[in-house]
Amino acid sequence: MLPKQAGLFALRLCAIFLALSIVTAEDPYRFFNWNVTYGDIYPLGVRQQGILINGQFPGPEIYSVTNDNLIINVHNSLPEPFLLSWNGVQQRKNSYQDGVYGTTCPIPPGKNFTYTLQMKDQIGSFFYFPSLAFHKAAGGFGPIKVLSRPRIPVPFPEPAGDYSLLIGDWYKTNHTKLKAILDRGHRLPFPDGILINGQGPNGTSFTVEQGKTYRLRISNVGLQHSLNFRIQGHKMKLVEVEGTHTVQTTYSELDIHVGQSYSVLITADQPAQDYFVAVSTRFTKPVLTTTATLHYSNSKRPVSGLIPGGPTSEIDWSLNQARSIRTNLTASGPRPNPQGSYHYGLINITRSIKLESSAAQVDKKQRYAVNSVSFVPADTPLKIADYFDIDGVFRVGSISDNPTGKKMYLDTSVMGADFRAFVEIVFQNHEDIVQSWHIDGYSFWVVGMDGGVWTPASRNQYNLRDAVSRCTTQVYPKSWTAIYMALDNVGMWNVRTEFWARQYLGQQFYLRVYSPVKSLRDEYPIPVNALLCGRAVGRQTRPL
């Protein structure tokens, strides 16, 4: 055997052992069989074609426990390609399962694909969503809960109930029309309303028993707008943000930016009646508001009084609230040891990256960019091209670590990074809107945010002790946000704005976290059931 073939043979043997070891692993399996279809929905009173999963809008909830293996067979019954992605699920060593354009071939119409996800070392609240075209504007999203394993302490008593609330801005216009607006090079109009679990005003009700405490997991699955969440007459105790148990601070209202998830505890400690749950857009004129009902099981009165108003002060209030969200260092996360035992503030930064967003016209069409590059998809998913060594699909280094000041241009932008690097990323926002940034495959420490332009002196105000670790962070208008991230997950990872029109029009790129030692300890091989498309058609995914 030639050395290369021998290596390949060893790799395949390992793949078989790995497959066996996955199968015999003790971590439990949960199986899901999902059928994705179009169906009529009426969230704002008019008929629309929504994306349903097993007939449901929003889709079914994924309930899981740390380290569970989820086997999700997704049947695409839409007349077009489809993919689901998993916001906040880290897909450790397994970016093939990430379900975004750069990692996974679309599921063709009438076909199915089985995702294999492991909730490895994760707890918390997340959601899934359709990642292609502009499907997210039609539904197809649903909540994900990852509970702690039985013997791992949770820093609050078991709640009497655990409700997921998906909130988001919504259009009466169907997603194909919205997509056509963007494809023609225009901006999206203002949304028509806000939905809570797929329902418009007064459409949803949560029942509580007087005297008991409940957990609400609130995710902003909308397309663009930051939302404020509050409950008439009740306070909320924040306990978890995207997989981190937080210092338990009490708030009367919470700002939740696009793509973010928060868990709060509420106690039904008020007179027995019904109360408004209110959600409204932030930093917009006009302000859109919607309501749901918090219903006491022994309620004597329907909702009454005024819908509680949102905060009237703008950015500063929100910024101060964001800074007050910190990690509870003594609480356990997914593992029994306290979350504070990883001293991220003592690790030396090996690389500093600064990302600047911009909006401009390219060829007379509206586009959005990061460090001047507006992302355009290639004909083959980048991860798959990488696996099969297919040249000419992308170039590592096609986006710079720092703003270049160049005019905006189109490219399939991929940033290279070393496995085990420890990076600082500064998101600099020169625009007048609140931005929201998400990184797949990771959770990162939000070490600082402030108004103005970031300078090295801004590091003096970083929180190097108990910053919150999460996967989606906001960047306020004309402000910066800095994060620290340990690159401990090999793969091809999407870095994107959660502002969906901007994401669609190029404000994203891929971070290729690479290890020259192609070890199965660091990354799983391509799944044997992987769909192949573009220039990978006809390649072999199965071990011989």
Ligand X SMILES: *[C@@H]1O[C@H](CO)[C@@H](O)[C@H](O)[C@H]1NC(C)=O
Token pair of 33, please? 């069989």
Between 333 and 362, how does the x/- string for binding to ligand X read (CB under 6 A)?
Answer: -------------x-x--------------
Between 364 and 403, how does the x/- string for binding to ligand X read (CB under 6 A)?
Answer: ----------------------------------------
DSSP 433-479: S-EEEEETT--EEEEEEEES---GGGGGG---SSB-EESEEEE-TTE
According to CB under 6 A, which residues from 60 to 99 bind ligand X? 73, 75, 77
Q: Total residues contacting ligand X (rule CB under 6 A)?
A: 27
- List, in order, residues 6 or more apart from 486 with CB less than 8 Å away: 344, 347, 420, 422
Cβ pair 66, 146 in contact under 8 A: yes
Distance of alpha carbon 225 from alpha carbon 190, whole angstroms? 10
Task: Return the H-helix or E-strand segment holding 423.
Answer: strand 422-429
**Would you say 371 or 380 has its CB closer to ligand X?**
380
**Would you say 140 or 491 has its CB closer to ligand X?**
140
Distance of alpha carbon 544 from alpha carbon 536, whole angstroms? 18
Distance of alpha carbon 195 from alpha carbon 220, whole angstroms? 10
DSSP 148-208: PPTTS--SSPPPSEEEEEEEEEE-SS-HHHHHHHHHTT------SEEEETTB-TT--EEEE
Cis, peptide link before residue 336, omega less than 30° from 0: no
In the set 21, 297, 298, 330, which binds ligand X (CB under 6 A)? 330
Neighbouring CB atoms inside 10 A of 355's CB total 22
**Would you say 155 or 259 has its CB closer to ligand X?**
155
Cβ pair 477, 537 in contact under 8 A: no
320 makes contact with ligand X (CB under 6 A): no
In the set 9, 45, 177, 392, which binds ligand X (CB under 6 A)? 177
State the amino acid at position 354 in one-letter form.
K
**Would you say 169 or 356 has its CB closer to ligand X?**
169
247 makes contact with ligand X (CB under 6 A): yes
Token pair of 472, please? 């989606």
Distance of alpha carbon 391 from alpha carbon 406, whole angstroms? 26
Tell me the window of 6-14, 106-114, 139-147, 252-260 that interacts with ligand X (CB under 6 A).
106-114
529 makes contact with ligand X (CB under 6 A): yes
In the bound complex, what is the minimum distance in angstroms from residue 246's beta carbon to ligand X?
Answer: 7
328 makes contact with ligand X (CB under 6 A): yes
56 makes contact with ligand X (CB under 6 A): no
Token pair of 373, please? 């590059």
**Chain mean position to CA 169:** 16
179 makes contact with ligand X (CB under 6 A): no
Quick check: helix, strand or coil at residue 197?
Answer: coil
Tell me the window of 172-180, 218-226, 478-486, 507-515 that interacts with ligand X (CB under 6 A).
172-180
Tell me the window of 30-38, 404-412, 442-450, 471-479 that interacts with ligand X (CB under 6 A).
30-38
In the set 56, 67, 174, 321, which binds ligand X (CB under 6 A)? 174
In the set 202, 320, 350, 404, which binds ligand X (CB under 6 A)? 202
Tell me the window of 121-129, 169-177, 207-215, 474-482 that interacts with ligand X (CB under 6 A).
169-177
Length of the chain, in residues: 544
In the bound complex, what is the minimum distance in angstroms from residue 113's beta carbon to ligand X?
Answer: 5
**Would you say 369 or 531 has its CB closer to ligand X?**
531
Strand order from edge to edge, sheet including 84-87: 62-65, 142-147, 124-130, 84-87
* Positions that interact with ligand X (CB under 6 A): 35, 37-38, 49, 73, 75, 77, 112-114, 155, 174, 176-177, 201-202, 247-248, 291, 302-303, 328, 330-331, 346, 348, 529
